[in-house]
Amino acid sequence: MTRQVARGTPKAQTAAARSRILRHSAVYMMLLPAVVWYAVFCYQPMYGVLLAFKDYKFNMGILRSPWVGLKYFRQFLFATEFWGVIKNTVVISALKLVCSFPAPIILALLLNEVQRLKFKRVVQTVSYLPHFVSWVVVYTLLTIIFTPYGGLVNSLRTQTFGLEAVYYMGEKQYFYPMAVLSDIWKGVGWGTIVYLSAITSVSPELYEAAIVDGAGRMRCAWHITLPGIRPTISILFILATGGILNANTDQILLMQQPANMSISQIIDTYVLKIGIREGRFGYATAIGLFKSVFSAALMFMANSVSKRVGEISIW
């Protein structure tokens, strides 16, 4: 008699896993480039985290450089720039979270009510195209539109309304509105794709029953569509909370000027200044690691709160 491997044993589990991999080999081959990308660009660079705990010497390398423990973390916590950098990062990220996060939801709800399919497709295409435009191009467009030397906005101010020209890109009080509005313009269409996909999963029978009961479009959107996409909104909000200390480095770095430096210096631009310009690699790595750990803690907290309040969580 042939010996059969009992179910649940390690050998049986290994054989079952091998069988599944062979059966779905095409799918795993499609997944392979993503795994390689993450391994090369996300996990392999984590070796450099050691710099946060070492006094890096070029001639000694990372491993042979002397250990300094938590010296750079204490140095950052007691630095004069600490509270200013943290405040700027949190303020900019909070403004974007409050203003930019609901924008795709609102646009998705509006597009869901559009009856003309061609018009809906045109609006979708026009709204998500800016996502593929780099921040360098976006900043160039903003400069051309708002420049006091022949820009569209200032031309209207001076020639139509008789007002003085304003240097919007260089004045401190306009930095936050410009940063938030440009972020909405660039990302609202791309974010809408996720919510429109979630809306398609809502049962049409719910809308039919609501219409029979006399509900209009607003009531259907409020009582059916929004609750139907609530899991998607909650998960994306948890992820957005975890990235609250990011504040979009590319955008802020391009918009930084001496006039607005006091409110535009965020953690990532400060790390670039310390690490690249001043060559303090260990200190810059410690700041980046501090930000990553704090962001992970915020995401865990948001996930825990969402799980308790709305019974929706990532894990």
pLDDT recorded at residue 3: 47
**Residue 225 counted as domain residue:** yes
Polymer length in residues for the chain = 315
Q: Can you tell me which residue has the tokens 């993503």?
A: 34
Give the Cα-Cα-Cα angle 286, 34, 27 (nearest 5 degrees). 150
**Residue 6 counted as domain residue:** no
**Residue 26 counted as domain residue:** no
Domain residues for the domain of 288 are 71-309
Provide the CATH number for the domain around residue 273: 1.10.3720.10
Q: Which two tokens stand for residue 72?
A: 């750079």
pLDDT recorded at residue 188: 92
**What is the rounded CA–CA span in Å between residue 194 and residue 188?**
11
**Residue 113 counted as domain residue:** yes
In the structure, what pLDDT confidence band is assigned to residue 45 with cuts at 50, 70 and 90? confident
Kindly provide the b/e burial profile for residues 49-87, where b requires at least 16 CB atoms within 10 angstroms of the residue's own CB.
eebbbbebeeeeeeeebeebeebbbebbeeeeeeeebbe
In the structure, what pLDDT confidence band is assigned to residue 269 with cuts at 50, 70 and 90? very high
Beta bridge partners of 98: none
Element housing 41 (H / E): none
State yes or no: pLDDT of 2 exceeds 50. no
**Residue 14 counted as domain residue:** no
CA–CA distances in Å: residue 211 to residues 158, 207, 220, 223, 225:
52, 6, 8, 12, 13
State yes or no: pLDDT of 204 exceeds 70. yes
Q: How many CB atoms lie within 10 A of CB 24?
A: 12
**Residue 294 counted as domain residue:** yes
Using DSSP's 3-state secondary structure scheme, residue 67 falls into: strand
Q: Which two tokens stand for residue 245?
A: 């200390």
- For the full predicted model, state whether its pTM sits above 0.75: yes
In the structure, what pLDDT confidence band is assigned to residue 11 with cuts at 50, 70 and 90? confident
Beta bridge partners of 57: 61
Report the number of distinct structural domains present in the chain: 1
State yes or no: pLDDT of 73 exceeds 90. yes
CB contact at 8 A, 224 and 218: no
**pLDDT tens string 155-172:** 888 888 888 888 888 888
Average per-residue pLDDT in the chain? 87
**Residue 64 counted as domain residue:** no
**Residue 53 counted as domain residue:** no
